[in-house]
Amino acid sequence: MFSKILIANRGEIAIRVIRACKEMGVATVAVFSEADRDALHVSLADESYCIGPGPAQKSYLNMSAIVTVAKSCGVEAIHPGYGLLSENPAFARLCEEHGICFIGAPCAVMEKMGDKDAARRTMREAGVPVIPGCDLVPTVVDALREAETIGYPLLIKARAGGGGRGIRRVNAREELAPAFQSAAAEAQSAFGDGALYMEKLLTNVKHIEMQLLCDQEGRALCLGERDCSMQRKNQKILEESPAVCVSPELREQLTEATVRAARTVGYVGAGTIEYLLTGEGRFYFMEMNTRLQVEHPVTEMVTGVDLVKWQIRIASGQPLTIRQEDIRIDRHAIECRINAEDPAHGFRPSCGQISLLHVPGGPWVRFDTALYQGYTIPPFYDSMIAKLIVSARTRAEAIRKMQAALCEMVVEGVDHNAQTHIDLLGESAFLDGSYTTDYLAKRNA
């Protein structure tokens, strides 16, 4: 086991990793920007070092600065959390060059699965169903030709996409050219790669993801599914596990396909394969996330498996001791992402000082956050300020528990979306589990 780990991230995920390390007896090193000098992860780590100004590009994405701190502190491994450098093969390779273990997927897997076009081809070869579509389309002329075969509506998607960026919906031929140019420009700006491909737009579908743990000896473990269909502009806002729409038979099929896909690419560590599920029960590969997911706590709450600790164990060379038959899901969990934003004004991001904070509590209630009373939220980073997760024996009990926890939560000083979650939890489409990925778009139209 490692004796010291650097956490190359911030906010609640940095704290999540620090806590796991402390419980494992592993020393921690935090890095922070000038804007995060008073952040909670800075004080919780055993050592903390400033690596640059507030903007992430000059601090948390500064690979050489992070590796320099790691070497000077004598760390053996770096945990990247999620986002930022977590799926950056160049950073993983830089760590390896300096004799530091990158706690994540192998570089080759990140490169292959991070290229959404290559990932589709790989999954087809593995016998995993993929959404009907086409490979890369270099020009608008190529896109127009392929679109006639795919049919409208369709999605233009960035090869290097993520976080909902580089995606455009095209309902008719006349919309394709401007959408193509817009998606290419956004992808180039966000990822430095403007390459695009296209897929048939599947409507009234569920977004289902399967959690993986794979060790260095080829063992692959699937820890059930999460329903991530409650989305606004391709951004998840609420997740639950297990999915109401997944029968035991379908879960077995998804598990088998997911394990086969992981073994095909030689996956190691914690990862997720995301699928679209139609009303007829047909599922299609969408993408693979070669990192820990924001919503990993719902899986932890229903399985009792600590995914972060297993990430660290696997990276240190320890084999999985959990078997597939050991995974029993007999509880239900829900996660609500608490964002500092103003729902009354188009979900405009909100910054400011937390003047009052009350954290909800009780059995099976978890509040992952970096907030504390008096903390000032900086303007440079993602608007998510907390994750509220609950678990209960049944889905109905979990919904009531989440409603109670949201009502108990107090965060004053910034606008946030707790009331939006309270409203959603009471709507019939959520209560009966029939909501799909386009539910909010139709609801708010």
How deeply is 3 buried, as exposed, middle or buried, from its count of CB atoms within 10 A (0-12, 13-18, 19+)?
exposed
* Rg value, the chain, Cα: 21
Q: Does the reported pTM lie above 0.95?
A: no
- Whole-angstrom distance, CA of residue 142 vs CA of residue 397: 52
Residue 17, classed as helix, strand or coil, is helix
- Whole-angstrom distance, CA of residue 253 vs CA of residue 96: 36
Q: Give the 3-state DSSP-derived string for 383-430, with helices as H, strands as E and coil as C.
A: CEEEEEEEEECCHHHHHHHHHHHHHHCEEECCCCCHHHHHHHHCCHHH
The dihedral over CA atoms of 294, 79, 165, 381, expressed in degrees to the nearest 10, equals 80
What pLDDT score does 142 carry?
A: 96
- If you count them, how many residues does the chain have? 445
**Please, which residues have CB within 8 angstroms of residue 178's CB and are 6 or more apart in sequence?**
none
**Please, which residues have CB within 8 angstroms of residue 270's CB and are 6 or more apart in sequence?**
211, 212, 213, 291, 292, 296, 307, 308, 310, 311, 314
Count CB-CB contacts under 10 A for residue 47.
Answer: 15
Residue among 232, 241, 209, 164 nearest 433 (CA): 241
Tokens read off for 291: 């990192």
CATH of domain 132-200: 3.30.1490.20
Q: Please check whether the domain covering 206-443 is classified as CATH 2.130.10.10.
A: no
What pLDDT score does 445 carry?
A: 72
What pLDDT score does 118 carry?
A: 87
**What sign does the dihedral 20-293-43-65 (CA atoms) show?**
positive
Q: DSSP states of 18-66 as a string?
A: HHHHHHHT-EEEEEEEGGGTT-HHHHHSSEEEEEE-SSGGGTTT-HHHH
Count CB-CB contacts under 10 A for residue 159.
Answer: 21
**Please, which residues have CB within 8 angstroms of residue 40's CB and are 6 or more apart in sequence?**
15, 370, 371, 372, 375
Residue among 81, 112, 61 nearest 312 (CA): 81
Helix axes 296-303, 307-315, angle to 10 degrees: 100
What pLDDT score does 233 carry?
A: 85
- Whole-angstrom distance, CA of residue 397 vs CA of residue 413: 31
| H or E, element range at 311 | helix 307-315
Domain boundaries, the chain: 4-103, 132-200, 206-443
State the fold for domain 4-103. Rossmann fold (3.40.50)
pLDDT digits (tens, 9 = 90+) for 278-300: 999 999 999 999 999 999 999 99
What pLDDT score does 190 carry?
A: 85
Active-site residue, selected from the candidate residues 168, 232, 251, 291: 291
- In angstroms, the Cα distances linking 171 to 188, 283, 435, 436 are 23, 23, 22, 19
pLDDT digits (tens, 9 = 90+) for 337-369: 999 999 999 999 999 999 999 999 999 999 999
List phi, psi (to 5°) of 104. 180, -170
- Tell me which residues of the chain have a pLDDT lower than 70: 163
CB 68 within 8 A of CB 106: no
Spell 231-253 as b/e; 16+ CB within 10 A means b. Answer: bbeeebbbbbbbbebbeeebbee
What pLDDT score does 311 carry?
A: 98
Is position 169 annotated as part of the catalytic site?
no
What pLDDT score does 234 carry?
A: 83
What pLDDT score does 116 carry?
A: 82
Task: Give me the residue label for tokens 């978890």.
Answer: 366
